[in-house]
A = this chain, B = another copy of it.
Amino acid sequence: MRPGPRRSLTHAEILDVAFDLLEAKGFAAVSVRGVASGLGLTPTALYTYYPSKNALLRGMVEHLLARLDPGETGATDAAGEAGAPGSAGVAAGRTRLLALALRLRELLTGHAGALGLIMSGPLDGPNAMRLNETLLESFMAAGLELDDAARAAYALQVYVLGSIALESAEADAESEPADASDRAFATEATGATLWTDLATFPLSERTEAVAAQHNSTAQFTWGVQRLLDGLIGVR
């Protein structure tokens, strides 16, 4: 056993406080000082547990992914091994993939600004690897060969994270009341084009109703389904 006094906190306690802060006050409120004071100790004491704020954020990502629970591993196709995957295996794999995508989105949108966490580093923790492994299994159960499964697994993660990115970008803007003036400044900045009316873009105007629903679960599901169509489709 190592010398020195015992630690007064567990990493789990720290992460819980961090997530409380994230949910209550948003991503910007997750500061070293904020978390530390929430735990009743000095900011620098936190550096005993995590070598940097970034490491803290990465720990949060893992903590989140630990709650993913990818379900049973692809035992269904373990029987059929190298044989041609039956259509039942394909359907099961696809169902599991959609469920994973939805669950992942749910986890990430549940905490405002979770995207900032993911951008704190690559997804290479054990739980992230577990997710990747499950995705690979599912895609192979759906009939893909190994290398394509790897690409497909990455593509699916890309889609989910991109979805979160655009969603949170829009969510941020809603909290800001100064829409018009901000936009005016921003567009004036480009020089040439003044602020253009929506009517200038006829197609965009006619799809306004659809665009308003872009962040809904239904349209997220639609997008994932189309992506899966392309990924595990005939070609």
Contact = CB atoms under 8 A, between A and B. Distances in A.
Interface of A: 10-12, 14-15, 49-52, 54-55, 58-59, 61-63, 66, 115-116, 118-127, 129-130, 132-133, 136-137, 140, 146-147, 149-152, 154-155, 157-163, 165-166, 168-170, 172-173, 176, 178, 181-183, 185-196, 198, 200-204, 206-207, 210-211, 214, 219, 222-223, 225-231, 233, 235
A66 B190 contact: yes
B150 A59 contact: no
A226 B152 contact: yes
Contacts of A10: 191
A159 B194 CA distance: 29
Given A119-B168, A155-B226, 17 more contacts: A11-B190, A49-B189, A50-B189, A51-B182, A52-B182, A59-B189, A115-B119, A126-B193, A127-B193, A129-B200, A132-B204, A133-B202, A155-B159, A157-B162, A159-B162, A160-B162, A226-B227
A158 B162 contact: yes
B147 A51 contact: no
Q: How many monomers of this chain does the complex have?
A: 2
Given A190-B66, A229-B230, A207 B121 contact: no
Contact of A229 (B51, B121, B163, B235): B235
B173 A122 contact: yes
B58 A186 contact: yes
Q: Secondary structure of the A side of the interface?
A: helix
A49 to B, nearest CB: 7
A52 B173 CA distance: 13
Given A62-B190, A211-B150, A227 B155 contact: yes
A170 B149 CA distance: 21
Contacts of A125: 183, 186-187, 190
19 contacts: A50-B189, A55-B182, A59-B186, A115-B165, A120-B172, A122-B166, A122-B169, A125-B187, A126-B195, A126-B196, A127-B193, A129-B204, A140-B203, A151-B223, A155-B223, A161-B165, A162-B165, A225-B230, A229-B229
Contacts of A198: 129
Contacts of A228: 230
